[in-house]
Chains A and B, each alone.
Chain A
Amino acid sequence: MSTPLIRNERFVQVAAPLLVGVFVLVLWQLTVMAFDVPKYLVPSPVDIGQSLVTDFSSLFNALLMTLKVTFLAFAIAVVVGVAASLLFVQSKWIEISLFPYAVLMQVTPVVAIAPLIIIWVNDTTWALTVCAVIVAIFPIISNTTLGLRSVDPNLLSMFRMYRTSRWQELMRLRIPSALPYFFGGLRISSGLALIGAVVAEFVAGTGGSKAGLAYMILQSGYNLQIPKMFAALILITVTGILLFAAMVWMSDRALRNWHESALKVEH
């Protein structure tokens, strides 16, 4: 006997939020139509959809620019963040000496230092990337360092009993132990890289061929092209969701055989 769709967990996981989304969109459309709200105040979902189609070319180019900065920043944050964590676990002294500076980067608002970075770094793409890295790197450093330190003390004792090298301890014990923490950091950091890229674009206000989605939002606001503004906003949101979903997928693939966070528990 086939199981009803409503009892299918995967189906419910996708269908339930989708249904809420469709309901909100329909309600939004009907409200705008019923009260005859002007486009420049609140555009209807249909208006936004039309803008997505008609302004596709400019929006797509802006999306590519934002994605370029986001991915660059995310990749750099991962590489530098992991390298910093590996350095921190080598010695308590190194961690004590350097970790406060990692916190400093986290607590300094990027909007406050973005103008300086834009002045110091000539190339706009790299200036935006540096800003996004500053926003995205802390969760990687913090989570990975915590993971590298959170090894089973008995396993560590066993490694020490065999007088293993630091390299063996790192590769065979610390790095696998840290994976769940690292992937947790990736989930947070991927979203922050996008936020960092968008915030930096707002501050830089870069137009022309290097215009990202944030610039598109600013420009559309000045020109009262509110549907286009919403369309750009939707692209940012969808990008953020896709990035998060990609991180969840990667994490599940890597941990599905052993870690509680990725195990499918049958009740």
Chain B
Amino acid sequence: MTATKVTPLKPAPSPESEAPVAEGKTGARPVLQVNGVNKIYGNGTVALKGADLTVKQGEFISLLGPSGCGKSTLLRIMAGLGEVTTGTVKWWEQDYDVVGSKGRKLAFVFQNATLMPWARVRKNVRLPLDLEHAGNSEEVEKKIDDALDMVGLKGFDESYPRELSGGMQMRASIARAMVTEPNLLLMDEPFGALDEMTRNKLNDDVLKLWQDNGWTIVFVTHSVYEAVYLSSRVVVMAARPGRIVDDIKIEQPFPRSPDFRVSTEFAGYCRQVSQALERASTMGEDKKEAQS
């Protein structure tokens, strides 16, 4: 794995150049450490090989790669949803046995909204709190109200998921993740099924929430543009076997506005990431290993 710094085609001219570049504060505490993780399925498929990744507090990291490169597998392992074959995962520099379920302070947003269709939006949003036996106090209700408000679903709390558009369902899903006040938000291609406009809007919303709440986000995506627009780091993965092959810092200030999408810097980063992705798709394909 190499850490590549990209020199933009032109220096960033925007008035936002004074704004901070979120690359994980220097010396910031690691939120998550994945060390030498291998994941081999029962049928012998090597889903991940030697994955090393450290996520520092305040970073917005995108995992980018072709289908089958193990992005989602890695994310699920980060969430403690999948067993590793070998290697270690630490949250806040501690093993799961020490940090516990609540101590990890993480939330997961899935590829689809994954709402309970039989429950109203409010009940869906409060689910993690119910699972943690948070009760029905005013504080809990306020958390739910705030989360709904922040994702723009105020007034829809009594709706059923089927009554919402795809974008609104995703917002409800994000509200459900927010309600636990996580420090680490893991998002598995959350906007992949949405149209371009809704996706861009939600990207901006997520960026704003990330900045306002001081979250750390690991975001899986197939889209180079989405990865560059959102991230402070883009981690490129290759398939067969799934592995991390590049780690590119996007040294552009936050907040990022839609103007960034049409800037030469954005184009430069996109080209850089695309080239890394291209290299990843051709380098060292080990079909024998994947099939073994």
Chain A residues in the interface with B (C-beta under 8 A): 152, 154-155, 157-164, 168, 172-173, 176, 179, 257-259, 263
Contact = CB atoms under 8 A, between A and B. Distances in A.
Contacts of B80: 161
Contacts of B118: 176, 179, 257-259
Interface stretch (B25-33, B84-92, B107-115, B250-258): B107-115
Contact of A157 (B81, B101, B112): B81
A154 B128 CA distance: 14
A163 B81 CA distance: 10
B164 to A, nearest CB: 12
Contacts of A176: 116, 118-119
Contacts of A173: 116
Nearest to B130: A172
Contacts of B130: 172
A3 B80 CA distance: 58
Contact of B112 (A154, A168, A172): A154
Given A163-B101, A168-B131, A258 B117 contact: yes
A164 B162 contact: no
Given A172-B130, A263-B162, A161 B114 contact: no
A162 to B, nearest CB: 4
14 contacts: A154-B111, A154-B112, A155-B116, A158-B114, A158-B128, A160-B81, A168-B131, A172-B131, A176-B118, A176-B119, A257-B118, A258-B117, A258-B118, A258-B160
B76 interface: yes
A162 B132 contact: yes
Nearest to A173: B116
A161 B116 contact: no
Interface string B37-80: 00000000000000000000000000000000000000010011
Contacts of A155: 114, 116
A162 B131 contact: yes
Contacts of B111: 154
Given A258-B118, A263-B162, A162 B128 contact: yes
A161 B117 contact: no
Interface string B97-126: 000010000001011101011110000000
Contact of A154 (B110, B117, B119): B110
A152 B79 contact: no
Contacts of A159: 131
Contacts of A257: 118, 160
- Nearest 6 interchain pairs by C-beta: A154-B114, A162-B131, A154-B110, A163-B101, A258-B117, A176-B118
Interface of B: 76, 79-81, 101, 108, 110-112, 114, 116-119, 127-128, 130-132, 160-162
Nearest to B132: A162
A161 B79 contact: yes
Given A157-B76, A176-B118, 15 more contacts: A154-B112, A154-B114, A157-B108, A157-B110, A158-B108, A158-B110, A158-B114, A161-B81, A161-B108, A162-B131, A164-B131, A257-B118, A258-B161, A259-B117, A263-B162
Nearest to B123: A172
Contacts of A172: 127, 130-131
A159 B110 CA distance: 13
A163 B97 CA distance: 12
Given A158-B108, A161-B81, A161-B108, A152 B131 contact: no
A161 B101 contact: yes
A257 B163 CA distance: 10
A257 B120 CA distance: 10
Nearest to B79: A161
A127 B5 CA distance: 82
B182 to A, nearest CB: 11
A154 B108 CA distance: 10
Contacts of A179: 118
B101 A162 contact: yes
Nearest to A180: B118
Contacts of A154: 110-112, 114
Contacts of B76: 157
Nearest to B133: A168
A25 to B, nearest CB: 43
A101 B112 CA distance: 39
Contacts of A168: 131
A92 B259 CA distance: 55
Nearest to B110: A154
Nearest to B115: A155
B213 to A, nearest CB: 20
A258 B162 CA distance: 7
A69 B125 CA distance: 46
B77 to A, nearest CB: 12
B177 to A, nearest CB: 10
Chain A CB within 10 Å — which of B81, B131, B162 has the most? B131
A134 B21 CA distance: 70
A155 B115 CA distance: 8
Nearest to B106: A161
Contacts of B110: 154, 157-158
Contacts of A258: 117-118, 160-162
